[in-house]
Amino acid sequence: MKFDPSAIASQLATVSDGDVQLGISLATYTSYKIGGPTAVWVAPVSEDGVGRVLELIYRNKIPLFVLGRGSNVLISDRGWDGVTLYLGENLSAVDFDRRQARVLAGTLLLDLVRAAVKKGLAGMEQLAGIPGGIGGALRMNAGAFGQEIESTIREANGFHRNGSPFHATRDDIQFDYRRVPELEDVIISSAVFRFEESDPHILSARMDDILALRAKKQPLGYPSCGSVFKRPSGYYAGALIEEAGLKAERIGGAMVSPKHAGFILNVDRASAADVYALINLVEKKVYDRFGVRLEREVRLIGEFD
């Protein structure tokens, strides 16, 4: 749907309490460092501001892309022909009250983990090193080493796409593997977590071990989106890709990691088209070899050929 970006930006400036811009590149805001421009950019600094922005966008029927910390997305080289609602450092804060923490959605997951560990609060330390923000981590039930974010969540707050408020307690939400159906169509603005008291020195050592293990096993030296594919039932995506002979396979500036085949890296100014072509090649070769259809964990934003 065509719309006048300048006119919408002017309207957004009247309801948002944060930054509004036209035509800025999205690559800077993604862990892949890939992506074209967005027609309109808006970054409110309060939860109420998020609701007002959503109501205006919905009323005007404008395409909406909600961008958090950008760790699980591949944005088209053509960018996004709509409004990008940014929920990153502009909506980031942690407020502890004894064993509970109220956290804004743009807060980095690692920042929350570190803050909790420092206070001797257990329940998230094994999630250390998972990239991205709290909003995205909740929507995908982020987890690692046998621990998932669902074990600490107590309530989630945010908005429906029309700007109406959303609130859910832990009992209202069904968490599945890398999927939370009740949160799929919700823009999360904050959440409340509850931890267990523990020895901060033990938690810190455990967190450091997790971070060291990630650094040893994962290719952290190049931009990536993290794991490109979900774990297939009964298999590991990285192992299937490796056994299909695809380690170090390359298209343009994109390469399957020689260290961990579940990662596709931006090794030399890769375009979104490079990464997308390599994703398709991996999917085809794994299916041809093993009959397993890999399911993407990365979200594709914008137009791809």
Worst-scoring range by mean pLDDT, 211-215, 250-254, 286-290? Answer: 211-215
Of 78, 154, 178, 206, which residue is the catalytic one?
178
Distances (CA, A) of 298 to 54, 70, 114, 122, 206: 24, 10, 26, 29, 28
Domain 5-90 sits in CATH at: 3.30.43.10
The pLDDT of residue 1? 59
Inform me whether the pLDDT recorded for 112 exceeds 70.
Answer: yes
Q: Any residues with CB less than 8 A from the CB of 1 and at least 6 apart, and which?
A: 61, 62, 63
5-90 and 237-301 have identical folds: no
Domain 237-301 sits in CATH at: 3.90.78.10
Q: In the chain, what percentage of residues exceed pLDDT 70?
A: 100
Mean pLDDT of the chain: 96
Is residue 103 within 8 A of residue 86, CB to CB? The reply is: no
> Nearest 5°: phi and psi at 295?
-105, 130
Give the CA radius of gyration of the chain.
20
Active site residue 243: no
Mean pLDDT computed over 204-210? 96
Of 71, 76, 189, 227, which residue is the catalytic one?
227
Active site residue 154: no
Fold type of domain 92-217: 3.30.465
Provide the residue ranges of all domains of the chain, joining segments of one domain with +.
5-90, 92-217, 237-301
- pLDDT tens track for 264-300: 999 999 999 999 999 999 999 999 999 999 999 999 9
Active site residue 178: yes
Euclidean distance between CA atoms 262 and 255, whole angstroms: 11
3-state secondary structure 208-275: HHHHHHHHHHCCCCCCCCCCCECCCCCCCHHHHHHHCCCCCCEECCEEECCCCCCCEEECCCCCHHHH
Q: Tell me the whole-structure pTM to 2 decimals.
A: 0.94
- Helix 109-118 to helix 200-217 angle, to the nearest 10 degrees? 150
- pLDDT tens track for 144-200: 888 899 999 999 999 999 999 999 999 999 998 888 999 999 999 999 999 999 999
The pLDDT of residue 2? 82
Mean pLDDT computed over 129-144? 92
